[in-house]
Structure 1
Amino acid sequence: MMNRIQAWPRILLAASLLGAALLPGLQEPPAVHAAASPAVLIAKADRWSYSDEGKDYGAAMKSASYDYSGWKSGQAPLGYKTDSSGNATNNVAPSSEFGKVSTVIAYGPGTSQKNTASYFSKSIAIADPSAYESFQGLFGVDDGLVLYANGQEVYRASMPSGTVSYSTLATTSKDLPVVMQADLTAALRAALKPGVNIIAAEVHNQSPSSSDLYWDMQLLAVPTGSGTPGGGAEAPASLAMTFSGDPASSRAFAWYTPSAVTGTRLEIVEGTYTDATWPSAAATSIAGTSQSIQAYASSSDKSAGKKTSYVSHKATATGLKPGTTYSYRAGDGTSGRWSAVGTFRTAESSPSSYSFLFTTDPQGTTESEFVTWNHTLTEGMAKFPDARFVAVTGDLVDNGDLESQWGWVLGKPAELLRRLPLAPAVGNHESKSYSNFGWHFNLPDTGTGAQPAGSVYSFDYGPAHFMVLNTEFDEASGSDPIYQKQVAWLRADAAASSKKWKIVLLHKSPYSVANHSSSSDILFFRNNLTKVFDELGIDAVLGGHDHTYTRTYPMKANSPQTNPTLDANGDMVRPNGTLYVTSNAAGDKRYTPKSGPFPYAYKYGQPGKEMFTGVTVSTDRLTFQVYTTTEAGSTALYDRFGIVK
């Protein structure tokens, strides 16, 4: 096992911080094989020197010659939460990654005149930076962070562009500390030197009246030649696992790399392994395909007409054993270009009961908004730890042609998504005009011609058959051959399935209660597509788009069946119609319900919080448990219902 850094000389680390919010992280499944860990250069809950004087240190504290001996010291996490009397307390919401504040620091002259920055320093040393192929940072921060190594900026989050001074405010504010992960490999390779180094960080409050501040971090170094991930900018990014075939015997994967990395390899092995214990000799190597693409990296690049070259990679593992745990990694077969190891379990041949998460509309434009998405998924998995996949019914991003947003929606919950497949539907913000959805997901082509690629497909899981539609095509303004092909495909696909439950996933819900409820495309679906669902005996239609919550009565011929038979649990027994559920957003964007009336709605509203639903599928019952959650508050049951047949 690698020796921990405490046995080495010292490298100086300094951090300055101003208030943001911390999101509980997800842990990988416990390894069953003994593992050597990467070197821990900075551990969680280490002791730090700090200054809470509200002094602008400028460039001085970034220098290797700066004298920190007069600073205070304390164990991380460090920070404060002001109470109603203006006292600094340790009541900052804890993080599962770093925990509760251990050292309370001063916040400044008054509750509305808090220090813009607090500074922290940590001394360690590194004998030979070239001995490591990867440097990985994990930060617990409240609000904005700028990190330096020997005076060179190596990472920035929730801070404006340009020069940062003591008085610069963070761009976002959260009520909880935020966990941020960063691959610092390329930046630290350029900045570190053998022996003593200085790493300095500024983390800024969003407002002088910010109520809390939080700081802790971890820095790991992966030894060169270990075959573990983190090979800087050339390692896979935006890795997504999906279904393209039988979930009992296959898994599909997609990821991005820079344009220079064109090789596509998936290694997979039965059992649970980690990065450090990867059994290269025992793993099966699967060749995949790659496509060179060009896309806008950011909104500023789009405004300037500047595209970045990427490579979209796809690989599929087939011939897997049902009900079996597998570990995998993606890359091009070159050391240093592998993803982190992920672990998943195939579906059983005939699972009698299982659950999945239903979410919609993570849709954001900033990195912090996708921290909210990560929190929603984290809370969902805490309530349904055995969920087999996540259904996301569209508007994963706000701008479907901007890769920064795709990086956040897939990157913020990266740990979770390495072990949990996505079942995505395309939304209007992904758009039929953009190809990015098809580049990011490895999904089957069902021949409907719907764009983007992979937006119409189906899969079986246990006793349920899932059909995913693309609601970017309709006939509200005239004949549309793509819509007609989707309907024909839907009829044929449903007829070919013998599964007891038939569930449709789509973005634009036919029945909702906010502004979209009277849009021409929604009215078309309500008056026409629902007839097809009636014809096919669809049990449930799960959607989004209107950023409110609506659960209908069973609907038949566009009429609510208001007196369904209920069992002792309050579940509907063999309802004569289809149940439509429109979820509130999993992200920060919400709409207000219109005045109505909405005769089809059994329950509707805007709870003002993010939402996820745990759906449990068994041979005779579908059970829906709808939860609301916020980063600053609790997670609570909002609705519960079911279908029995």
Structure 2
Amino acid sequence: MKSIFFLLFFSIWISSCSSQIISKQSSWKYLPYDSIQDSCWRNPTFDDNKWAHSSDFISGNFENNNSTTFYFRKTFKIKNPKKQKGLRFQILRNDGAIIYINGHEMIRSNMPNGNITYTSTASMESDENNSKHYFTYIVPSNFLKSGKNTIAVEVHKSKESKSKMRFDLQLDFSFLSSFIKAPYLLFSNDDTKMLLLWQLNESKTCTIYWGTDTNFYENSQISSEYGNSHLHKMMLSSLKPNTKYYYKVSIDSSATKKGSFYSNTSANVKKISFYAYGDTRTNPAEHNLIAKKIMEEIAHDILSQTFIVSSGDFVSNGNNESDWDSQFFDPQYLYLQKMLANLPYCSALGNHEGQGILYAKYFPYPMFTNGRFYYSFDNGPVHFSIIDQFTDYSIGSCQYNWLLNDLASSNKAWKFILLHEPGWTAGGHSNNLKVQNIIQPLCLKHGVQFVITGHNHYYARASVNGVMHITTGGGGAPLYNPKASSDSIIVSEKSYHFCKFNIDNDTLKFTAERQDGTIIENIEYHINSSTNFKKQDDLLEANFKVFSDEKNIHIVNKSLSNSILEIFDENGLSLIKMNSNKPEELIPNYNKGFYFVRISVADKSIVKKILLE
């Protein structure tokens, strides 16, 4: 396929006091070519003296715009390149781009790893909004030199792209924080520990302080970087459960970042709140607004500062460092960075995380199992099992056997599974049959009440035999249109949103909340509608029998004991509650479906699950 080689030239002097280097919609100089076979075009020594001017690359209305790849160049002069340590690029690209300064690659935006040629395509197609969006990147300015500098950009369409190529770029000097990634919290599954990570732009020593009082930090420790990219991590230890802690990270006593968290809820606590969302990729500004609303929730409900779970797809291309920098850890999104600094993060692997190499780099959970990305944790009355859907979990596999044992060995009242691709959802990506055929039976057998997923970019709730399957894919990715008539779907909506879970003993109140704080839905779920009700009693089992015929539910009481009878639908909603000491109760006129009958005598209870056909 032919491509156009646009080489752009425009020389300007940047004084030491000016911050802008290249403005948007600048005049450019270009020259078309059929193809480019080597990388010489990006070098400062490339000869571009005979090329013509143009400035309209935003509209897409220019010659030969059916090509896959387009190349751009421009030169500028800098008097004092060390005036600022950072460069801020704002680039409009349809669909992907790579930016070079003086021959050095600086940014790779929506492009695959490895060698790129004129036949290469972008990682994914830009939607209508992103084709007009300027993506911001802040990088070190260490490749600038005094005098003449060259910027080169190659823009590639995706395989699926039917739209015109668009390109524009603004370049400014920028303040470069010592923190490339500000401190953020990862859950450690230990009542006495919390994992803290951050990344610097150069090798420096850091001191971490933490304690229960901001006026006096009881603990301090010096950290050193690990790996080859100035990463730091520190396991804060000797924590007391159910306690709020404050911390700060200081660099050479010059730069400081602060945050706070609650340590893990102890096992005997029966009340907890936490948050869930997913698919935050591509549009960090939308993600930032969700983080703002979550932090506002925490300000009004301080005990909900426990943890947040993500169903994956953090960024567009998880194999690219620049996507993590610009879409998840970008310091300009203040609410997002505040949330990460104050709310421990738990996550599943999404398909956009690619091979998971950078995911493991920035989310090194100590609970990872067998070198892969599945793990579990407890917090108060809650048990979470996180599935890696990109590692075999078929029956008999290592991950399946691990999950089987993990669920069977947990005695927590509330059980959740977190994974990326849903088994029941409202269109877009199709239902994952492995979740239906492998995960769902384990949920029924071991009393899992909720499966939290993403992948499809909307909100949806399905109820399948009493198990709630939540699709929470509205964390920032381009939204999809859900199909409300999809199998087992009760509620669905196209919106940016997050979810909040409030557990109090055997009752869970669930809220799906839009980005603006309005409510999609509230539901109340009773643990006693679960197949995993814990207060089983052999005597009650022997004396009470439950069966059905057509639309009627029969409850037989052989002992004639005074009892409380309750019936719940498959969503956990209470339908009837009554006292009885009769030998048999007939409760008529129910529709087809699953129901749960709870029988209580004194302080003992049993739950029976029945099907009306």
The range that moved more, 346-355 or 516-525, is: 346-355
Where 1:511 maps in the other structure, the secondary structure is coil
Structure 1 residue 531 displacement after superposition: 1.6
What does residue 386 of structure 2 align with?
A: 468
- Structure 1 residues 177, 353: CA separation in 2 closer, same or farther (over 3 Å shift)? farther
Within-5 A mapping of 1:407-418: 407-408=325-326, 410-412=328-330, 415-416=337-338, 417-418=340-341
Q: Distance in 2 between matches of 1:383 and 1:580?
A: 24
Q: Distance in 1 between matches of 2:151 and 2:393?
A: 58
What does residue 401 of structure 2 align with?
A: 484
What does residue 243 of structure 1 align with?
A: 187
Which residue identity lines up with residue 364 of structure 2 in the other structure?
N
Where 1:508 maps in the other structure, the secondary structure is coil
What does residue 16 of structure 1 align with?
A: 23
What does residue 167 of structure 1 align with?
A: none
Which residue identity lines up with residue 491 of structure 1 in the other structure?
A
Which residue identity lines up with residue 509 of structure 2 in the other structure?
L
What does residue 139 of structure 2 align with?
A: 183
Match of 2:208 among 250, 267, 272: 267
Where 2:366 maps in the other structure, the secondary structure is coil
Where 1:187 maps in the other structure, the secondary structure is coil
- Structure 1 residues 244, 590: CA separation in 2 closer, same or farther (over 3 Å shift)? same
What does residue 468 of structure 2 align with?
A: 579
Structure 1 residue 424 displacement after superposition: 0.8
Structure 1 residue 509 displacement after superposition: 2.8
Where 2:511 maps in the other structure, the secondary structure is strand
What does residue 130 of structure 2 align with?
A: 174
Percent identity for Structure 1 against Structure 2: 16
What does residue 460 of structure 2 align with?
A: 550
Where 1:525 maps in the other structure, the secondary structure is helix
1:457 and 2:338 equivalent?
Answer: no
Structure 1 residue 182 displacement after superposition: 1.0
Which residue identity lines up with residue 261 of structure 2 in the other structure?
R
For the 8 Å contact 1:398–1:405, the answer to whether it is kept is yes
Match of 2:500 among 604, 615, 621: 615
Match of 2:261 among 338, 345, 356: 345
Structure 1 residue 138 displacement after superposition: 4.7
Where 2:175 maps in the other structure, the secondary structure is strand
What does residue 178 of structure 2 align with?
A: 229
Where 2:244 maps in the other structure, the secondary structure is coil
What does residue 437 of structure 2 align with?
A: 524
Match of 1:284 among 206, 216, 220: 220
Within-5 A mapping of 1:31-46: none
Q: Deviations over 1:551-601 (max 9, x none)?
A: 023x4xxx3xxxxxxxxxxxxxxxxx3322112353546667679651x22
Structure 1 residue 485 displacement after superposition: 1.9
Where 1:382 maps in the other structure, the secondary structure is helix
For the 8 Å contact 2:60–2:165, the answer to whether it is kept is yes
For the 8 Å contact 2:278–2:474, the answer to whether it is kept is yes
Which residue identity lines up with residue 442 of structure 1 in the other structure?
P
Within-5 A mapping of 1:171-570: 174=130, 178=134, 180-188=136-144, 191-192=145-146, 219-220=174-175, 229=178, 240-246=184-190, 250-254=193-197, 267-270=208-211, 284-287=220-223, 290=226, 314-320=233-239, 322-328=243-249, 341-347=257-263, 356-362=274-280, 370-372=281-283, 374-386=284-296, 387=298, 388=305, 389-396=307-314, 403-408=321-326, 410-412=328-330, 415-416=337-338, 417-428=340-351, 430=353, 436-445=358-367, 449-453=369-373, 455-460=374-379, 464-472=382-390, 476=394, 478-493=395-410, 495=411, 497=412, 501-514=414-427, 517-525=430-438, 527-534=440-447, 538-547=448-457, 549-553=459-463, 555=464, 559=465
TM-score, normalised to structure 1, is: 0.53
Higher strand residue share: 2
Q: Distance in 2 between matches of 1:597 and 1:200?
A: 50
Where 1:380 maps in the other structure, the secondary structure is helix
Q: Distance in 1 between matches of 2:476 and 2:23?
A: 29
What is the count of residue pairs matched by the alignment? 450
Which residue identity lines up with residue 174 of structure 2 in the other structure?
L
Q: Distance in 1 between matches of 2:232 and 2:518?
A: 39
For the 8 Å contact 1:400–1:437, the answer to whether it is kept is yes
Which residue identity lines up with residue 314 of structure 2 in the other structure?
L
TM-score, normalised to structure 2, is: 0.55
For the 8 Å contact 2:315–2:328, the answer to whether it is kept is no
Q: Distance in 1 between matches of 2:58 and 2:170?
A: 20
Q: Distance in 2 between matches of 1:12 and 1:427?
A: 38
Q: Distance in 2 between matches of 1:109 and 1:472?
A: 40
Q: Distance in 1 between matches of 2:455 and 2:60?
A: 39
Q: Deviations over 1:395-452 (max 9, x none)?
A: 4356665555555554346734344432111245557x75544333232337xx4442
What does residue 80 of structure 1 align with?
A: none
For the 8 Å contact 1:253–1:441, the answer to whether it is kept is no
- Structure 1 residues 588, 324: CA separation in 2 closer, same or farther (over 3 Å shift)? closer
Q: Distance in 2 between matches of 1:17 and 1:466?
A: 48
Where 2:364 maps in the other structure, the secondary structure is coil
Which ranges in structure 2 are unaligned for 5 or more consecutive residues? 1-14, 32-43, 45-54, 66-74, 118-124, 299-304, 527-613
Q: Deviations over 1:298-327 (max 9, x none)?
A: xxxxxxxxxxx7687543111346223222
Which residue identity lines up with residue 15 of structure 1 in the other structure?
I
For the 8 Å contact 2:387–2:419, the answer to whether it is kept is yes
Structure 1 residue 176 displacement after superposition: 6.9
For the 8 Å contact 2:184–2:197, the answer to whether it is kept is yes
Which structure has the higher relative contact order (CA within 8 Å, separation 6+)?
Answer: 1
Q: Distance in 2 between matches of 1:395 and 1:239?
A: 21
For the 8 Å contact 1:443–1:457, the answer to whether it is kept is no
- Structure 1 residues 215, 509: CA separation in 2 closer, same or farther (over 3 Å shift)? same
Match of 1:641 among 519, 522, 534: 522
Structure 1 residue 473 displacement after superposition: 5.4
For the 8 Å contact 1:509–1:582, the answer to whether it is kept is yes
Where 2:367 maps in the other structure, the secondary structure is coil
For the 8 Å contact 1:355–1:615, the answer to whether it is kept is yes
- Structure 1 residues 460, 176: CA separation in 2 closer, same or farther (over 3 Å shift)? farther
Q: Distance in 1 between matches of 2:319 and 2:91?
A: 29
Q: Distance in 1 between matches of 2:100 and 2:429?
A: 47
Structure 1 residue 524 displacement after superposition: 1.7
Q: Distance in 1 between matches of 2:397 and 2:347?
A: 23
Which ranges in structure 1 are unaligned for 5 or more consecutive residues? 1-7, 19-50, 63-106, 164-170, 222-227, 231-235, 293-308, 363-369, 560-576, 629-634
Where 2:143 maps in the other structure, the secondary structure is helix
- Structure 1 residues 514, 442: CA separation in 2 closer, same or farther (over 3 Å shift)? same
For the 8 Å contact 1:393–1:424, the answer to whether it is kept is yes
Q: Distance in 1 between matches of 2:57 and 2:247?
A: 56
Which residue identity lines up with residue 235 of structure 2 in the other structure?
T
For the 8 Å contact 2:422–2:453, the answer to whether it is kept is yes
- Structure 1 residues 491, 198: CA separation in 2 closer, same or farther (over 3 Å shift)? same
What does residue 30 of structure 1 align with?
A: none
Q: Distance in 1 between matches of 2:443 and 2:419?
A: 12
Where 2:23 maps in the other structure, the secondary structure is strand
CA RMSD of aligned residues (A): 5.8
Q: Deviations over 1:99-145 (max 9, x none)?
A: xxxxxxxx98998869x9xxxx999986x94xx7x723456666699
